[in-house]
Amino acid sequence: MAAAQHSLKKSATMKYLFLLLTLLAANLAFAQSGFPGFLKGTWKMEDKEIYEHWDKLNNENLKGFSYKLIAGQIFVTEYLEIAKKDNQIIYTATVINQNKGQEVDFKLVKTDSSFIFENHKHDFPKQIIYKKLSENELFAQVTDGKQKGFSYKMIKQNVKDTTSPNPNYDKTLAEKLGGDDYGMKSYYLVILKTGTNTTAGKELISESFREHLDNINRLVEEGKLIVAGPLGKNENNYRGIFILKDIKSIEEAKELLQTDLAIKNGLLDYEIFTWYGSAALPEYLPFSDKIWKSKP
């Protein structure tokens, strides 16, 4: 009797272990198939000079951008990200000169043979689909979730020539500056313009712009502002520019701008855009402190 009970317990234990291993394997398979890591690299639209480039930051984050190649020059059209957020995989697109620079999120809803991202609240597109055809080919669709939309095939490009790397490449510096394979990164470009407050008294104006200059210096010291300067007289009433770095979102950029008293008091307003530039741009700052003779 005791031997029989021992045998039953052993059998039950083996079944439990088998079930546990099966569930772990299923979860591992989902984790591997539930994230489109195959997108890493540069892809060219068939028969057109339109590209997508993706960098894999880790197993849960891809950063990328779309661009056109015109006469050998890169013109970025949108910034892209696929990342795991709150146990969901989200595709984020920031299209240049659209949606007022706002990010648009699409949630991954299907991963069997295609990666389908959806946002039914967005006007167009509502659905973005990637389907891996082979190691070097993929099929993409951009649709309204019904009949309207377009599709295209993309071919993976061999953008890295490991036989002839850049002889001047400094890996330590490149990693410090956080640039991509092209030595570039994303910033926020802020164009300052005359604000709506036209009735402020002289004391408020004087205090606001004094704090405006102090705030510029503070943001430079914190490493968040790398370019600031006035513009000449123009018909658009543009007053100056900022270039912000290492800012995670446009919302964070707007919160940062509210620390400027001239903006907060309505003496200055702004327009804000994503901007793609050299990751080495901030390196001029240490030299800028060695060439001025008097403060403005």
* Residue length of the chain: 296
Q: What is the pLDDT of residue 225?
A: 96
Residue 165: the pLDDT is: 65
Cα 33 from Cα 270, distance rounded (Å): 43
Q: How confident is the prediction along the chain (296 residues), in pLDDT tens digits per residue? A: 544 444 444 454 454 444 444 433 334 333 445 688 899 999 999 989 999 999 988 888 999 999 998 887 889 999 999 999 888 999 999 999 888 888 999 999 988 779 999 999 999 999 999 999 998 999 999 999 888 899 999 999 864 444 436 777 777 778 888 888 888 999 999 999 999 998 889 999 999 999 999 999 999 999 999 999 999 999 999 999 999 999 989 999 999 999 999 999 999 999 999 999 999 999 888 888 888 888 76
pTM > 0.75: no
CA distances from 250 to 18, 105, 194, 241 (A): 49, 14, 21, 16
Query: In whole angstroms, what separates CA 92 from the centre of its chain?
Result: 8
Tokens of 76: 């970025």
Q: What is the pLDDT of residue 46?
A: 92
Domains of the chain: 37-157 (2.40.128.20), 174-288 (3.30.70.1060)
Q: State residue 164's pLDDT score.
A: 39
